Chain A
């Protein structure tokens, strides 16, 4: 009884994504108004559930996946494999292909290979992962999954249901707190069976995935309504507008907190293309009256790109369904390849840096293959601790080891060698590392006049432009390039450290600016604890 009173207390806020908030948790009398929504039901009845060619019975379709709360899976993982990640919602349900799960009806548990589990939910595993071959994990089945296996599923079929007989029903007939113990009393189970039987006899059907595709959600919990629209902040859309649409008046009129509502059914089908656009007419309709006039004269057939990142901030959790009939590729017998040793070494190297994918400090960026071979021969452990470095020295000496990986070199780096390597990048002539207050650290511009201008003017100009852009919410200024006659100079700055480079009389070659940006960020990081 305690379970049902808990259900009742949780049933106030129905929500599709959260099992605790599921409408099925409501008492029967509260769910009566849903019966009026006939059209929705008719859309979601799976084809296979209808009686076909006079068959007298039907079976409730079985979903191709089993939904397990993330927390349950994490708790079931063997020690040393689970990763604590507070950013993950423990109630998020993970879909595991049903055919990959061995279900034990006696103790209501499921068993799945760790390989499959890692494929469907890598977020709960430590990274990098040790070998998972031939290992499996057992987890308790939640009540809704246990009930799927109840065999009282055949009922007498009826003709096509009349509208007043039917009632929409959610994905899951029974809602259970994932944190509750897996065991349920027979009495409770029986009660659920009865409920299930009744619901089936009422012709309520599960909107299961058909033809390998999950039905799109009817509603979602981020404030969009049943007309399936999605609210997106306007300013990021304006920032990505093509030049012909990019009117200053738009930016001014839109303001920083303005949001527009766009139809989800227009956006969702485009997600699989990696780009989402809406026709200008739709965009105009969504715009506030005050802004609309700014685009009155633009061609209506123009497509307005919608930034994916913004869409994803508001997208319902189940809007990206993976095929239900997927077969996870598995390597049953590992074969050693010429790359296995390196893969293991890398895994070991990156293991000690939780939550990051960077090379650990005090470790060579590219250990020679020969090292591991040497260790194998001598039997010495590969993770021999490095000699301790005095704490004082570690503080004063900046560590540039992370830059070794950028330059793909093993040689020890210092500021002059780094600036030398920067100057050698394609399309660059010289580089100068300096502070924002005009102190030269290393490098040169190759011309005294240039150097003076760079040291005195560029940091201040950069800060000025950055401040102005930040005020207009164009955050993240990375570099400024100044061109005059045939000369071009670019500056990177973080407000404290600056890197200025002189081009070979042409703009950045593809990829060079990105590389410089990475180098500069690592340089700034390495020098953050040093006095410069």
Chain B
């Protein structure tokens, strides 16, 4: 649920990049960080181990005016993908507004994708959230590699639910479809926000400098 501060007229949306270990969640955030002008974003905060593995989470704040009179802030998080850090994932998922599920397209990562997706659903369930009611998109990452599963199989594994969501073939290392996936999730959550808060009407986006 977005945090709305009527006093300071601010809305904060939280988007979480979820997925198995080494699927490219941090790379997504690094690319977004590298493409957005420093004027419009904060620093990328990354708590990683010496081996560049995400230890706690990555965090990137992006600011923009989207809704009338309200400063809208997007907070982008990643979770640690390694199985042992489930408590951290649960913490990061708290009050999540939208999810980009990053799947690793390599054949030998299929099981990890499925397990991570189930883990996402389970962790959302602990917060009484349903995946089917949450704005999310699927990003099939590492499509530039040779040993990758066909999209039809990834769709069968991860998008075979009653609600079929948008998916993106992506290469986070080059930025291919990184913003496209984030844009769609942002749009979905803004639509949802508008449905739930009809008094605040959408306006064309205009970025404003980070404070």
A interface residues with partner B (beta carbon < 8 Å): 119, 122-123, 127-128, 212, 271-275, 307-309, 312, 320-323, 325-329, 331, 333-343, 345-347, 350, 356-359, 365-370, 405-406, 408, 426-427, 509-512, 518
Contacts and interface: CB of A to CB of B under 8 A. Distances in A.
For the complex of A and B, the 9 pairs showing the least CB-CB separation, nearest first, are A274-B110, A338-B64, A336-B205, A509-B51, A274-B111, A337-B186, A343-B179, A275-B111, A320-B156
Nearest to B33: A408
A323 B176 contact: no
Nearest to A369: B37
A426 B52 contact: yes
Q: Which secondary structure dominates where chain A touches chain B?
A: loop
Given A320-B152, A329-B165, A369-B40, A273 B176 contact: no
Interface of B: 22, 30-32, 34-37, 40, 50-53, 62-64, 66, 74, 107, 110-115, 143-144, 147, 149-153, 155-157, 159-166, 169-171, 173-180, 182-184, 186-188, 190-191, 202, 204-205, 207
Contacts, number: 177
A327 B163 CA distance: 5
A439 to B, nearest CB: 29
A511 B35 contact: no
A346 B177 contact: yes
Nearest to B113: A274
- Highest count of chain A CB atoms <10 Å: which of B40, B74, B179, B186: B179
Contacts of A272: 114, 156-157, 160
A336 B179 contact: no
Nearest to A212: B162
14 contacts: A273-B111, A275-B111, A322-B159, A331-B187, A331-B191, A335-B191, A337-B64, A338-B74, A338-B186, A338-B205, A339-B186, A366-B175, A408-B34, A426-B52
Nearest to B112: A274
A343 B187 contact: no
Nearest to B181: A343
B184 A338 contact: no
Contact of A336 (B162, B178, B204): B204
A340 B161 contact: no
B183 A343 contact: yes
A340 B183 contact: yes
A320 B63 CA distance: 42
A122 B178 contact: no
B110 A337 contact: no
Contacts of A312: 149-150, 153
Contacts of A308: 107, 110, 149, 153
- Highest count of chain A CB atoms <10 Å: which of B30, B111, B180, B202: B180
Q: Which secondary structure dominates where chain B touches chain A?
A: mixed
A326 B164 contact: yes
B52 A337 contact: no
B162 A323 contact: yes
Contacts of B32: 339, 342
B160 A357 contact: no
Given A122-B151, A328-B164, A369 B188 contact: no
Given A275-B111, A342-B36, A406-B173, A325 B156 contact: no
Given A357-B177, A369-B37, A408-B31, 16 more contacts: A127-B169, A274-B114, A307-B107, A309-B147, A326-B160, A327-B164, A335-B190, A335-B202, A336-B66, A343-B179, A345-B179, A369-B36, A510-B22, A510-B52, A512-B51, A512-B52
A327 B182 CA distance: 21
A309 B145 CA distance: 14
B173 to A, nearest CB: 6
Contacts of A333: 191
- Highest count of chain B CB atoms <10 Å: which of A272, A334, A369: A369
B166 A329 contact: yes
Contacts of B156: 271-272, 320-322
Nearest to B174: A405
A334 B188 CA distance: 9
B190 A337 contact: yes
B30 A408 contact: yes
B65 to A, nearest CB: 9
A359 B62 CA distance: 25
A328 B166 CA distance: 8
A239 B179 CA distance: 38
Contacts of A345: 179
A347 B173 CA distance: 15
A128 B186 contact: no
B53 A511 contact: yes
Contacts of A510: 22, 51-53
A329 B192 CA distance: 13
A335 B204 CA distance: 7
A426 B50 contact: yes
Contact of B207 (A338, A347, A356): A338
Contacts of B204: 336
